[in-house]
Amino acid sequence: MIDPVEIRRKAESLYREYVQAWLAAEDESFFPREIRCRKKPASNDLAEASRAVRVLRAGSKESTGFGYSVQWREVRSRTFGRNEFPERVLFHTAEDLLRFLERCDEFATLVAAATKLRSRLPVLEQWLRANPETLLALAPDLDGLLEVVSWFVQHPRPGIFARELPLAVDTKFIERHERILRKWLDIVLPPHTIRSDEEYFERRFGLRYAEPHLMLRFLDAGLQAAAGIPFDELSLPLRTLDQLSCPVTTVFIVENKVNLLTLPPIEGAIALGGLGNGVSLLRYVAWLQTVQITYWGDIDVEGLAILSMLRASFPHVQSVMMDQSTIDRYERLLVPGTARILDVPPYLNAAEHELFLACRSRNIRLEQERIPQADVVAKLSESARPPSTPSPVPSAS
């Protein structure tokens, strides 16, 4: 026979159904609702059956004034004699259900939050119906969230730091609520105001942030003079690099910092260094699409993966000293790799593809700083001249 504990468990499921009915404005016809139950005693023991009936009756609305109601049926049997057993267990009203589950305050909070969200951002209706529990958890901060989202609607891609937004919320409010703000802003804002290829919140929605600094070295004193910069080596944020104004024709991207600082003078060239996987950020530097780019990194699975990552934004990137002939020439300088089993990157040409497989299977690495400086000078000077027949680089399929 069903008992109050089982009724409570089933009532929790009923509550979730009721919330969905309320959200869909279908709650007026929701009650009464029956709880499916076992009607017969679990054993043939008369004393135990009588106890189960007393417990069920004591927890019901007829005893407490709220909660579940029991419709009883008189049963005559050889085992139990003439006794009443439950025929149906029902909740007649929302109040009965909410008081039984001690969720009156919770439901009132949800109703208030949903009503406010609907009035301010009706476009979030579908999200609301799918996420009532999340909204309930957000209720204490809902006013602040609505303030932030409403401000972004009026000022998309503001180009200022989050703490500079003229809002009543504290300076770390957006940081604490990035996950839900991203979901809401993705729904609310026009698509053209969102960088859908960006996971980073600030870049996705046009906020300023503490940008990574990129190390830059002028390899041509004439370029340095044209840029009006009194230093031949410096670090600068991404947006400043995008605004660099001088007639650059060639950009070298080098992983090792010392290698960057020992590159030879090359006419029309600058060098960027130490980016690692951060090379993907260079897609924000528009003028790089118009210059020759040469990448020089370690010959290993990670270095070739970085090359591929760079080519995803700049298909015309060429590599230097990252080929099988370099491996063959400096075989004595090879060291063990990291043993990482990476998938073959999509933006390698055929020769680089084979080299990646060899590095992965042999777990080898040729660190760029091990190559003799005289060879570096010769190779880089040669690579600064546009190749007559560029290596084909396939698109990712």
Cβ atoms of 185 and 145 within 8 Å: the answer is no
Helix (H) or strand (E) holding 213: strand 213-218
Q: Is the pTM of this model over 0.95?
A: no
Q: Under CATH, which number does the domain 213-383 receive?
A: 3.40.1360
What residue spans define the domains of the chain? Answer: 4-102, 106-205, 213-383
Closest CA to 303 of 329, 323, 285, 283: 323
Query: DSSP string covering 165-184, please?
Result: S--SS-TTHHHHTHHHHHHH
- Residue with structure tokens 């049926």? 73
What residues are paired with 336 via a beta bridge?
A: 364
**Model pLDDT, residue 171:** 85
pLDDT at 275: 83
Give me the residues of the chain with pLDDT under 50, please: 387-397
User: Do residues 237 and 209 touch, judged by C-beta distance below 8 A?
Assistant: no
